[in-house]
Amino acid sequence: MIDLHMHSTFSDGTLTPTQLIERAKQNNIEVMAITDHDNVDGLKEGRIEAEKKGITFINGIEVSANFLNKDIHILGYFLNLEDEEFLEWLKNLQEKRQNRTLEILKKLADLGIDISLSEVEGEVLGNVIGRPHIAKIIIKKGFAVTMDQVFDRYLGDGKPAYVPKVGVDMVEVVKKLKANGAVVILAHPHLISHPDDTVINIIDNLIKNGLDGLELYYPNIALRKKNKLMKIAKKRDLILTGGSDFHGLHRAGIDIGLGNISTEVFQKMVEKKEKIDKNRKNI
C-alpha cells in the first residue's frame, strides 16, 4: 500500500510523525509521504521512524496558494531539505499565515466570537496555524458542534470569517517547488470550489509553469469527477498521484492507506523525479 498525503501535528493533523508511521505500519503501508501544510518540520522525524520500520519515506509538503479568493493546494514531493532559499521562502509563508490568523480572529470578534491569539497557539504544536485549530476553539466555546458546522458558518471559503492567504500566488508556489527539484502535483483538484472550466484553466496555467500531475486517488472522490479529471490529465500527459489526506482519527472513515495508488502509478512519479534531476544536471 502507498499513501502520499497525510498531516502530522506539525500542521493540523492530530498524530505526531512518529505516531503516523506507527499507524502506517499497522495499515501495511510500504511507501508514504508526510505532506504538512506550508512546512517541512516533521520530515526528519518521519524519515527516521519510517526507516526503522522499513517504510520508504518521501519528503512532502502541501503548500496553500490562492487564486481568485479560493484556496488551491499544491503538493511537492521528493523535496530537497538542504535548499536554504526554499526554507527561507517557507518561513515567509508561515509569517503570512500568522497575519491571516489575526485577521480571522478580528472577523470572528466582529461576529461576537472572542478568541485570543494565545488561545489558538495553545492548540498548535508546530508553528503553522490553520483554520482547524481556530475551529476547535469555536467548538469549545459552544458556537458550533461539529467542524463542518464551523466551516459552513464561519471559516469555509467565502464565509463571514474567511480570509484567503493573500499574496501566495499559485504560480509562485509551483515555481518555488520546481526550483527545489520537487515533483509538483495539484492537490485534490475535485475540491477546488471554482467552476469546471476555471479549474481547467488553472491546470493549464500551472502546467506552463511546471506542474507535473494531479492528485486523483482520494477518499470519496465521485467517479464522474475522477473520470473527467482523468481525461484532462491524459490529454496533457500529466502523472497521477493519490493519498488519504489523513488528519487524525477524528475524521470518520478516513484512515492512512485510503487513496492508495498502485506501484505502477508510483513508478511514474519516481521516473519523473529522475528526469527532473537529470535535466538539472545538464544545465
In the bound state with Zn ion, the residue whose beta carbon lies nearer, of 161 and 233, is 161
The residues near 280 (Cβ < 8 Å, ≥ 6 apart) are 181
- Which grid coordinates belong to 275? 528526469
Q: How far is the CB of 126 from ligand AMP (least distance, A)?
A: 13
Calpha distance 206→187 (Å, rounded): 12
In the bound state with Zn ion, the residue whose beta carbon lies nearer, of 132 and 213, is 132
Q: How far is the CB of 191 from Fe ion (least distance, A)?
A: 7
Q: Site size for Fe ion, by CB under 5 A?
A: 4
Torsion from C-alpha of 229, 233, 234, 239, nearest 10 degrees:
-130
Which of positions 177-196 make contact with Fe ion (CB under 5 A)? 187
Please give the helix or strand (H or E) that residue 96 lies within, else none.
helix 84-110
Which of positions 197-236 make contact with ligand AMP (CB under 6 A)? none
In the bound state with Zn ion, the residue whose beta carbon lies nearer, of 12 and 38, is 12
Calpha distance 56→59 (Å, rounded): 10
Q: How far is the CB of 53 from ligand AMP (least distance, A)?
A: 26
Instruction: Decide which of ligand AMP, Zn ion, Fe ion, none touches 8; Cβ closer than 5 to 8 Å per partner kind.
Output: none
Calpha distance 264→139 (Å, rounded): 43
The residues near 216 (Cβ < 8 Å, ≥ 6 apart) are 189, 190, 226, 229, 230, 233, 240, 241, 242
Q: Out of 245, 257, 259, 272, which residue is the one contacting Fe ion (CB under 5 A)?
A: 245
Q: How far is the CB of 3 from Fe ion (least distance, A)?
A: 12
Q: Stretches 40-48, 56-64, 173-181, 252-260: which one binds Fe ion (CB under 5 A)?
A: 56-64
In the bound state with Zn ion, the residue whose beta carbon lies nearer, of 238 and 246, is 246
Q: How far is the CB of 235 from Fe ion (least distance, A)?
A: 24
Q: Site size for ligand AMP, by CB under 6 A?
A: 12
Please give the helix or strand (H or E) that residue 70 lies within, else none.
strand 70-77
The residues near 165 (Cβ < 8 Å, ≥ 6 apart) are 64, 65, 66, 71, 96, 97, 100
CA atoms in the 13 A half-sphere facing the CB of 58: 26
Q: How far is the CB of 126 from Fe ion (least distance, A)?
A: 15
Which of positions 4-43 make contact with ligand AMP (CB under 6 A)? 12, 37
Calpha distance 216→91 (Å, rounded): 29
CA atoms in the 13 A half-sphere facing the CB of 222: 6
Q: How far is the CB of 156 from ligand AMP (least distance, A)?
A: 6
Q: Out of 2, 10, 12, 76, which residue is the one contacting Zn ion (CB under 5 A)?
A: 12
Which of positions 127-156 make contact with ligand AMP (CB under 6 A)? 130-132, 147-148, 151, 156
Please give the helix or strand (H or E) that residue 217 lies within, else none.
strand 213-217
Q: Out of 25, 73, 100, 165, which residue is the one contacting Fe ion (CB under 5 A)?
A: 73
Calpha distance 59→77 (Å, rounded): 6
Q: Does 47 bind ligand AMP (CB under 6 A)?
A: no
Q: Which residues bind Zn ion (CB under 5 A)?
A: 12
Q: Which residues bind ligand AMP (CB under 6 A)?
A: 12, 37, 64, 71, 130-132, 147-148, 151, 156, 247
